[in-house]
Chain A
């Protein structure tokens, strides 16, 4: 798994690289005994939760932009 994360940390997509680096850091801390396996699993799940939050945030931003665009268009109609 660490090899895969290493590859992803240099995949050329900044969002994926950052997430892979974060996951790799967690795995490395676990392997070094600075995190328990349960803590590492929780933190990795937190990274997944972060992506879910970002997806909802993007949705809100898109809908807000749509409302603004329609409102502006209505002002000039």
Chain B
């Protein structure tokens, strides 16, 4: 009963009982998504610019793809986290597509990806 009251209050607070509840309700805590996003964060932190970058970047692409496929399979409430990772997917895909880069590229790209991964991790792990 209390959970029903909470859910109804949430809908009322939104101002509109829309059928698209993904715009009202956030997705909720998920162990697998949490593990996956931290994997991405760790890969970003451990990126070694002295070693071939392409396979390291591809590993991040693959992990983000895992996150995407898992979230899409999980259901309609996952739209928020799917939207969350879109910018990061674009950022790391560009990196993985490169065979060679300038000296400063890896250093700067790594900083950006770490920042994105850190923000995404906090959002994913901070859910109810």
What is the distance, in angstroms, from A55's C-beta to the closest C-beta of chain B? 10
Stretch among B44-52, B68-76, B109-117 lining the A interface: B109-117
Q: Are B128 and A53 in contact (CB under 8 A)?
A: no
Binary flags per residue of A43-77, CB closer than 8 Å to B gives 1, else 0: 10011011011101101110110111011011101
Q: Are B128 and A52 in contact (CB under 8 A)?
A: no
Q: Are A46 and B91 in contact (CB under 8 A)?
A: yes
The number of chain A residues with a CB under 8 A from chain B is: 33
Binary flags per residue of A23-34, CB closer than 8 Å to B gives 1, else 0: 001100100001
Q: Are B80 and A49 in contact (CB under 8 A)?
A: no
Number of residue pairs spanning A and B whose beta carbons lie under 8 angstroms apart: 100
A46-B109 CB under 8 A given contacts A39-B101, A60-B80: yes
Q: Report Cα–Cα, A31/B80, bound state, in Å.
A: 38
CB<8 Å pairs between A and B, sample of 27 = A22-B112, A25-B108, A26-B108, A29-B108, A34-B102, A35-B102, A36-B102, A46-B94, A46-B109, A49-B91, A50-B119, A53-B120, A56-B80, A57-B84, A57-B119, A57-B120, A60-B26, A60-B126, A61-B123, A64-B126, A64-B127, A67-B6, A67-B10, A67-B128, A70-B10, A73-B9, A74-B6
